[in-house]
């Protein structure tokens, strides 16, 4: 089959590889019908997540059709149209049973490797480095899905492919961001990053009763999408002072909830940006936390900072004095998609969440490298490019 493989930093190639097969009794094999690029792939492509190996198949946000099931698969059948959650959960460990699927104890074959860095290992993720299990990703014609009964959800007939595909990762990440931020009726919510996840966080915050949502980005086309599809107010951080504007917009209090949907490759302005770029280049910090710093500074006293943008290791100059003295709450995490999938499919069916506008480009696997280049450089109004193998 054809698959899009990582061959080195900013070096992707479409290769012919073996077809996947069932390796464990709870596996299924899915024929991929749609597989989306995700902002978090850019950290792998740009070389900021360790433990990638040439030949690794990328991709973790996908839907498809079940073509084969292992003998311990109970709920799925050949022919089912399914959306598969990006993080893999065994369904049986203490974490999965408490609905904390991305913390699964049993789905990461390289748990010992990860334990050395994180102290306790987390779940495996499709196509997301060997630290996260080394699973082959979904930018391919077929993919093997471990613990398929727990990770693959049947898509109701009335939901279209371009709505369902983002339930794999983008929608639950945005939803969980708003949930972790503790959004309540009447709250003002600020969302940094108007990519796929940020857009979904904006819609989710309104679902949870937010009075106003403010989106912060530097790309006008993404801010325009946030205004159109999310009813968000917008700030372009390249042309406005974010802290001052947020203060002005909130009667001098600051937002109640601040969501970081950017993560480790944040862009910022002025000296701060060059400081972080230099330190990151010299491996003195792995993550550029410009958004996290700003979110902590912007948040109202007693407010909540919710982090879903991906960080990998260590970041410097986090304003802990502000965090403590302003009595902030900070939460973060990879999404527990299995916990939200059914709810999100219902919300989409009812038209209360509308993720389909994220799909701006349909591409073939052969044009994978070019699609990622466009996505990385934010050309051509790209929100998400989706492969249709």
Partner 1 sequence: MSSKHASNVSPSERIISFTIGGAMLYRSFKTLHRRPVLALAAGYLVYRSIAGYCPISRWMGKKDTHNPAINIKSYLTINRPRDEVYRYWRRLRNLPTFMKHLERVEERTDTHSHWAAKLPGMTGAIEWDAEIVEDQPGYFIGWRALPGSIIENAGKVEFSDAPDGASTEIQAVFSYHPPAGSVGTGIARLLNPLLKTMIEGEIWNFKRIMEAGEIPTTAGQPNGRRNGKTKVI
What distance in Å separates the CA atoms of residue 166 and residue 212, rounded to the nearest whole number? 24
Shorter beta-carbon distance to partner 1: residue 118 or 244: 118
Q: 63 and 166 in contact (C-beta within 8 Å)?
A: no
Shorter beta-carbon distance to partner 1: residue 113 or 201: 113
Dihedrals phi, psi of 38, to nearest 5 degrees:
-140, 145
Residue with tokens 């490797």: 113
Q: 370 and 347 in contact (C-beta within 8 Å)?
A: no
CB 232, min distance to partner 1, A: 36
| Token duo for residue 255 | 């937002």
CB 105, min distance to partner 1, A: 7
CB 43, min distance to partner 1, A: 11
CB 170, min distance to partner 1, A: 25
CA angle 152, 153, 157 (to 5 degrees): 135
Three-state DSSP class for residue 86: coil
Residue (of 94, 220, 175) closest to 352 by Cα position: 175
Helix (H) / strand (E) element for 14: namely strand 12-16
What distance in Å separates the CA atoms of residue 242 and residue 235, rounded to the nearest whole number? 7
CB 342, min distance to partner 1, A: 22
Shorter beta-carbon distance to partner 1: residue 147 or 153: 147
Shorter beta-carbon distance to partner 1: residue 7 or 376: 7
CB 119, min distance to partner 1, A: 12
Helix (H) / strand (E) element for 110: namely none
What distance in Å separates the CA atoms of residue 334 and residue 306, rounded to the nearest whole number? 11
What distance in Å separates the CA atoms of residue 218 and residue 242, rounded to the nearest whole number? 11
Shorter beta-carbon distance to partner 1: residue 50 or 381: 50
Shorter beta-carbon distance to partner 1: residue 35 or 108: 108
Give me the residues that bind partner 1 (CB under 8 A), please: 1, 3, 5-9, 13, 15, 17-21, 23-26, 47, 49-57, 72, 88, 90-94, 97, 105-109, 111-112, 124, 133-136, 140, 144, 146-147, 283, 286
């Amino acid at each position: 089959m054809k698959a899009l493989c990582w061959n080195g930093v900013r070096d992707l190639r479409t290769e012919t590889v073996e077809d996947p097969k069932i390796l464990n009794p709870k596996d299924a094999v899915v024929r991929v019908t749609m597989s989306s690029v995700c902002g978090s792939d850019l950290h792998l492509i740009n070389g900021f997540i360790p433990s990638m190996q040439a030949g690794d198949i990328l991709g973790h946000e996908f839907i498809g059709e079940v073509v084969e099931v292992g003998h311990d698969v109970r709920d799925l059948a050949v022919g089912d149209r399914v959306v598969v959650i990006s993080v893999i959960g065994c369904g049986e460990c203490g974490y999965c049973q408490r609905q904390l699927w991305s913390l699964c104890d049993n789905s990461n074959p390289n748990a010992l490797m990860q334990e050395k860095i994180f102290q306790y290992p987390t779940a495996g993720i499709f196509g997301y480095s060997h630290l996260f299990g080394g699973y082959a990703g979904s930018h391919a014609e077929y993919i093997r899905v471990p613990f398929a009964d727990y990770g693959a959800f049947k898509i109701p007939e009335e939901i279209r492919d371009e709505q369902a595909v983002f339930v794999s990762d983008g929608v639950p990440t945005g939803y969980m961001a708003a949930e972790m931020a503790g959004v309540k009726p009447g709250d003002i919510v600020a969302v940094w990053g108007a990519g796929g996840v940020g857009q979904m966080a904006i819609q989710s915050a309104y679902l949870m009763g937010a009075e106003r949502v403010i989106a912060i980005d530097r790309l006008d086309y993404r801010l325009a999408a946030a205004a159109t599809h999310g009813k968000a107010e917008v700030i372009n951080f390249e042309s406005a002072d974010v802290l001052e504007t947020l203060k002005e917009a909130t009667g001098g209090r600051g937002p109640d909830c601040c969501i970081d949907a950017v993560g480790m490759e944040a862009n910022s302005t002025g000296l701060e940006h060059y400081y972080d770029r230099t330190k990151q280049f010299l491996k003195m910090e792995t993550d550029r936390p410009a958004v996290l710093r700003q979110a902590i500074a912007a948040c109202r006293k007693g407010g909540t900072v919710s982090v879903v943008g991906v960080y990998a290791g260590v970041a410097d100059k986090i304003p802990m004095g502000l965090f403590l003295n302003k009595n902030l709450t900070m939460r973060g995490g990879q999404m527990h998609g299995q916990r939200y999938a059914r709810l999100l499919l219902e919300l989409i069916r009812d038209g209360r969440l509308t993720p389909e506008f994220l799909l701006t480009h349909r591409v073939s696997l052969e044009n994978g490298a070019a699609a990622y280049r466009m996505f990385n450089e934010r050309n051509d109004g790209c929100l998400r490019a989706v492969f249709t193998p």
